[in-house]
Amino acid sequence: MLHTSTFRLSRFWNATALATAMLVVPVVASGQALFAPDTSFLKEQPYRKIKQRVDLTGVASQADLDVIKDGINPIVLFFAHLNLKDIPPERMFHIATHAGAQRLRLPPLELVGGGRYYPEKMYDWKVTGDSTITVTASFQDPIKKAASPYTDTFVFVKGDGKWQFDRHP
């Protein structure tokens, strides 16, 4: 009897281990290599704290990661400014193109506190060429965590050597 129950238990654990392994292993299309980006630069200053909210899971190649590394500081600075109730025009000039400043959809105002929802997560990074990055961000009211988050997608372009918000897709 002990032998039979031990066998059943070991069968259960093997099945569980197999199911767990299948959930952990990413599915890769035939002929496609798996890319695991080195995210250590997200722990570097400046803006180290807000960079911890960046999720680079979908980045497909080292070339894309290099473009993101080039734009990461101005992009996270942009998201930090979105928390302000009103972005001063002189700041807007640095973080957005002229067209971007006209098109920008700001996150909702906090229910309490006077600011705007803060960026909770920046994800789904897409790189086009070496001068365009598209990123989706979810925002949360810091006081009312239970409130549903606000999500939007932002397109950043590099012009004259600097990255700026340009439009929503």
Does position 28 have pLDDT exceeding 60, yes or no?
A: no
Does position 6 have pLDDT exceeding 70, yes or no?
A: no
Task: Give pLDDT, residue 147.
Answer: 67
Q: What is the per-residue pLDDT across 59-77, written as a single tens digit (0 to 9) for each?
A: 999 999 999 999 999 999 9
Domains of the chain by start residue, with CATH = 61-169 (3.10.450)
Task: Give pLDDT, residue 76.
Answer: 97
Does position 21 have pLDDT exceeding 60, yes or no?
A: no
Give a three-class secondary structure readout of the chain: CHHHHHHHHHHHHHHHHHHHHHHHCCCCCCCCCCCCCCCHHHHCCCCHHHHCCECCCCCCCHHHHHHHHHHHHHHHHHHHHCCCCCCCHHHHHHHECHHHHHHCCCCCECCCCCCECEEEEEEEEEEECCCEEEEEEEEECCCCCCCCCEEEEEEEEEECCEEEEEECC
Whole-number percent of the chain with pLDDT over 90? 69
Mean per-residue pLDDT of the chain: 84
Task: Give pLDDT, residue 9.
Answer: 39
